[in-house]
Amino acid sequence: MFVERLTRLFARYILTIAALLLSQGCSEHPAGDYSGFVEGQFVRPGPVAGGTLKQLHVREGDTVNKGDWLFALDDTAEKAALGAAEATLAEARSRLENLRYGRRAEEIAVIEAKYARAEAQLKLAKLNYQRAENLVAGDVISQERRDHAEAEYAAAHAEVAAIAAELKVARLPARKEEIDAAEAALAAAEAAVEEARWRLDERKVAAPEAGRIEDRYFLPGDFVPPGAPVVALLPPGNLKLVFFVPEPNIAGLRIGQAVRATCDGCPAPIRANISFISSVAEFTPPVIYSEKTRSKLMFRVEARPVENPDVLHPGQPVDVTLE
C-alpha cells in the first residue's frame, strides 16, 4: 500500500515538473543576438532570341528606373523580316478588296472604253452590211463582197457581246469561297506582322524593375545565347536578412515579428520583419561558424527590411536582435 502511494506521488511530481518546464519553454520569448548576413535576390534580364550584343547602356553600380533601356542586340534581320511581312500584308489586303468589290475603277474604265469602241465598230459594220445588201441587189458589187460585209457585222456583234460580258464580270465580287480564302490569308499576314514587330521589339530590353546594376556578363560585340542574362539587377525590395536560430528558440518566432539588425558602418539599427521560418533544421552554415554554434542544429530565418535598405549589400554580415 505504501509503495503504491509513493509511486503515485512520485509520478504526480514528475508530471508537475514536466508541465512547468513545458509552460516555461512555450511562453519564454527568445532573446539575444543572432549572426547572419544580407542576401540579395537578383533580377537577370536576357534576350528571348540570341544575337550579337550591339549596345550596353549601363555599368556596374548604375541606378536605373523601371523601363530604362539596359541593352540592345543587332536587329538587322528582324527589321528585314518586318518589312517583308508588311509587304505581304499590303498585298493580301489589296487582293481581298479586289475580290469583295470587283476590279478597281480604273480597270473598269478601260473595259468601258473598249466596249464603246466595239459598239462604234458594230454600228459601222451594220451600215456596211446594209449598204452591201442594196448594192448586190443592183449588181453593183459581187456576192463575195456582200458576204464579207456580213461576216464583219457578225464579228463586230460578237465582240460587243464579249466585252459586255467582261464588263459585267469585272463589276461583280468574287465567289464566297475565294473571299473566305483571302480573308484567312489576310489574318495570317496580320499575325505575321505582329510577330515580326514583337521580335524586333524584343531586341531591346528594358529594366523590369528599378534597382542597381550589380554585374554585367557580356560586352558589345559578344554573342548572347537565347535566355542568357546580360546584366544582374538588384531591386531595393529584394534584399533580405538571413540568420539562424537554435532549435530551442525557434518555437517562439512568428511570421511578421519585428527584429533589429546592426552592421559595421550602419548609422543606426535597421528594422525588419520576419518573412520566412524554415521547417527543416540544418547545421550552422560555415559563413557564420563559431565555437558556440558550430555543433548545433539551427533553423534558417529570413526578415525583410522595412527601412534604409540602401545601406545593405549582399554578403554583408549583420547581427539580428529579436523584439
Q: Kindly state the DSSP code that residue 309 receives in the 8-state scheme.
A: G
Which residues in 117-203 belong to E strands, given as ranges? none
Domain spanning 51-73+203-231, CATH class: mainly beta
- Could you check whether 28-42+235-322 and 51-73+203-231 share the same CATH topology? no
- Residues of the chain whose pLDDT is less than 50? 1-30, 289, 295
Question: What is residue 8's predicted lDDT score, i.e. its pLDDT?
Answer: 44
Amino acid (one-letter) located at 32: G
Question: What is residue 284's predicted lDDT score, i.e. its pLDDT?
Answer: 63
pTM of the model: 0.60
**What are the sequence ranges of the domains in the chain?**
28-42+235-322, 51-73+203-231, 79-199
8 Å CB contact between 308 and 316: no
- Which are the contacts of 297, defined by CB distance < 8 A and separation ≥ 6? 246, 247, 281, 282, 283
Question: What is residue 30's predicted lDDT score, i.e. its pLDDT?
Answer: 45
Question: What is residue 4's predicted lDDT score, i.e. its pLDDT?
Answer: 44
Residue-wise pLDDT tens digits, 239-270: 999 999 888 888 889 999 999 999 888 888 99
Question: What is residue 283's predicted lDDT score, i.e. its pLDDT?
Answer: 73
Residue with cell string 534604409: 308
Question: What is residue 104's predicted lDDT score, i.e. its pLDDT?
Answer: 67
In the three-class reduction of DSSP (H, G, I as helix; E, B as strand; rest coil), residue 255 is classed as coil
- Which are the contacts of 12, defined by CB distance < 8 A and separation ≥ 6? none
Architecture per CATH, 28-42+235-322: Beta Barrel (2.40)
Question: What is residue 292's predicted lDDT score, i.e. its pLDDT?
Answer: 58
- Which are the contacts of 170, defined by CB distance < 8 A and separation ≥ 6? 102, 103, 107, 108, 111
Question: What is residue 290's predicted lDDT score, i.e. its pLDDT?
Answer: 55
Laid out side by side, the sheet with 69-73 consists of 204-206, 69-73, 51-56, 223-224
Length of the chain: 323
